[in-house]
Amino acid sequence: MSRRSAVRKETGVAPALTGSRLLAFAAALSLPLFSIGAVAAERETIPSPPAVHGGEGTRFAEPGMIAPDFTVLDVEGRPFNLSEEVSRKPVLLLFWSVFCEPCRSEMTVLQNAYDKYAGRDLTFVAVAVDGEPLRKIIGGFARQEGYTFKVLVDDLDATGTWKAADAYGVTVTPTLLLLGKGGAVLLRKGGKIREELPQVAFAGRSNVGKSSLLNALVGHSRLARVSNTPGRTRGIALFEIEGKFAFADLPGYGFAKVSRSEREAWKGLVEGYLAECESLRRVYVLVDARRGPEDEERQLAAFLAARAVPYRWVGTK
């Protein structure tokens, strides 16, 4: 059994692996990197994703939501309960398949990260979406490849629904999620995990034109989402450019109509990324040229300067 092949673009740890540093690690490892060619190919050749089996109550587990609980067996036949694990520490959760060739390289990336951060306050979990009948084969493969993190095997329930994958709306493998302690979904990424690339970030107030600028720079009108509604960018989105570097579209700040708690979450995410992401090369701060830099832009510039992060002003509108 293999996962459905439809593609869905999705969003999404540093030494201490807590708070903003945990988010920064995830930014380096697991945020979405979409190549220009892949975006164009998706529009032209990939059909719409099929309905998720879980029925009307099934939703994609997106940042800000509480991660759905599940209990499945590991490759040794021992039960694993997600809610018990996230009650103790954050979880990096990868959905993969033994029949998914790209997943094998992703598992290597995950093992390398596990080796680097072993003993830190983070649990690494890989869920094979292949079914209980293949548990022994998956276990043998995991041992052969030397995976030392937790490897679980998803299975179908009596209704034909995957116990874990359908609860998360997984339509493509690999899919990677970062769950905070307590179970909140912090980041989500569907598709291939790339090794770290040099990154250039774009920051600014909500609706200042970051997404439009990104689209103009690459000559592709649908790379980044453009909306008349402030605050549509709810996480950090990385866009891979010809396999050489990545653009980072940061959540906007200012007058977006979101809750105070959500604005604080964005602030922690962005500050953690800007302060801790070692691959960040430069930040372009967008301002409305009709008004010039205001207090929030000046605060951001001071934050970057204090951390020796190179930045440049860009006038828009």
Cα–Cα distance for residue pair 176/96, rounded to 1 Å:
9
Cα–Cα distance for residue pair 197/73, rounded to 1 Å:
35
- Supply the DSSP string of 257-281, one letter for each residue: ---HHHHHHHHHHHHHHHHH-TTEE
H or E segment at 247? strand 245-249
Token digits of residue 316: 């828009």
Task: State residue 24's pLDDT score.
Answer: 52
Strand partners for 249: 202, 237
Q: Are 114 and 149 in contact (CB under 8 A)?
A: yes
Strands 237-241 and 245-249: antiparallel
Cα–Cα distance for residue pair 163/156, rounded to 1 Å:
6
Task: State residue 15's pLDDT score.
Answer: 37
199-316: CATH topology: Rossmann fold (3.40.50)
Residues of the chain with CATH 3.40.30.10: 49-190
Whether pTM > 0.85 for this model: the answer is no
Q: How far is CA 124 from CA 88, 91, 95, 119, 252, in A?
A: 13, 6, 11, 11, 31
Q: One digit per residue, pLDDT tens: the chain, 317 residues?
A: 433 322 223 333 333 444 444 545 554 444 333 333 233 223 222 222 222 333 333 345 666 678 899 999 999 999 999 999 999 988 889 999 988 877 887 888 888 888 877 777 789 999 999 999 999 999 999 999 999 999 999 999 999 899 999 998 887 788 888 888 888 887 777 666 555 678 899 988 877 777 788 777 876 555 554 444 444 444 666 677 777 788 888 877 754 455 565 556 556 667 777 877 778 899 999 998 888 888 888 999 999 999 999 999 998 87
Strands 175-179 and 150-153: unpaired
Peptide bond preceding 174 in cis form (omega within 30 of 0): yes
Residues of the chain with CATH 3.40.50.300: 199-316
217 burial via Cβ count (<10 Å: 0-12, 13-18, 19+): middle
Q: Name residue 60's amino acid.
A: F
Cα–Cα distance for residue pair 25/20, rounded to 1 Å:
9
28 burial via Cβ count (<10 Å: 0-12, 13-18, 19+): buried
Closest CA relative to residue 82, chosen from 97, 96, 74, 72: 72
Q: Give the homologous superfamily in CATH for domain 49-190.
A: Glutaredoxin (3.40.30.10)
Task: State residue 174's pLDDT score.
Answer: 84
Cα–Cα distance for residue pair 52/272, rounded to 1 Å:
34
Task: State residue 194's pLDDT score.
Answer: 57
SS3 203: strand
Closest CA relative to residue 5, chosen from 56, 58, 36, 42: 42
Task: State residue 72's pLDDT score.
Answer: 97
Task: State residue 247's pLDDT score.
Answer: 82
